[in-house]
């Protein structure tokens, strides 16, 4: 596989995450917003911060911790027992699990920016 060099400044990768986080904060102030859904989405954004990690052990520990945080607000969604919300949450968790597993399987490459 080809080798890529990590850019000196990777902040451009996180600009969309910052914008989405700010939109989430704004949505949380709206009383009509599904607050638990917004919180799950905002918590999940942390999983997408994996490019910032340079040390493999920190990446492995942290991405697992980020993923394990999601059920805190997710369980509140499940307790409502609204079918479409429960289905949304399970689908979203499946997506986050795939991202987490990909990063963990490729953590040596991800942390070093190659492969």
The pTM score is 0.84
Average pLDDT, the chain: 89
Between 31 and 103, name the one with better pLDDT. 103
Residue 1: band (very low, low, confident or very high) from pLDDT cuts 50, 70, 90: very low
pLDDT of residue 12: 86
- For residue 114, give the 3-state DSSP assignment: strand
* Beta carbons of 115 and 109 less than 8 angstroms apart: yes
Domain layout of the chain by residue ranges: 13-112
Helices (H) and strands (E) in the chain, counts: 6, 0
Distance CA 35, CA 16 (A): 21
* Beta carbons of 104 and 56 less than 8 angstroms apart: no
Residues in a beta bridge with 3: 114
pLDDT tens string 11-56: 888 888 899 989 999 998 888 889 999 999 999 999 998 888 888 8
Res 6 pLDDT > 80:
no
Residue 4: band (very low, low, confident or very high) from pLDDT cuts 50, 70, 90: low
Q: Name the token pair of 105.
A: 């399987």
Distance CA 45, CA 17 (A): 7
């Amino acid at each position: 596989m080809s080798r890529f060099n990590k850019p000196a400044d990777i902040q451009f990768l996180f600009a969309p995450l910052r914008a989405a986080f700010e939109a989430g904060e704004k949505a949380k102030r709206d009383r009509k917003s599904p607050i638990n859904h917004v919180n799950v989405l905002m918590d999940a954004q942390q999983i997408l911060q994996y490019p910032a990690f340079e040390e493999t052990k920190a990446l492995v520990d942290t991405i697992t911790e980020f993923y394990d945080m999601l059920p805190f607000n997710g369980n509140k969604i499940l307790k409502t027992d609204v079918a479409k919300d429960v289905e949304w949450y399970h689908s979203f968790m499946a997506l986050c699990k795939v991202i987490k597993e990909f990063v963990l399987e490729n953590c040596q490459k991800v942390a070093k920016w190659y492969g």
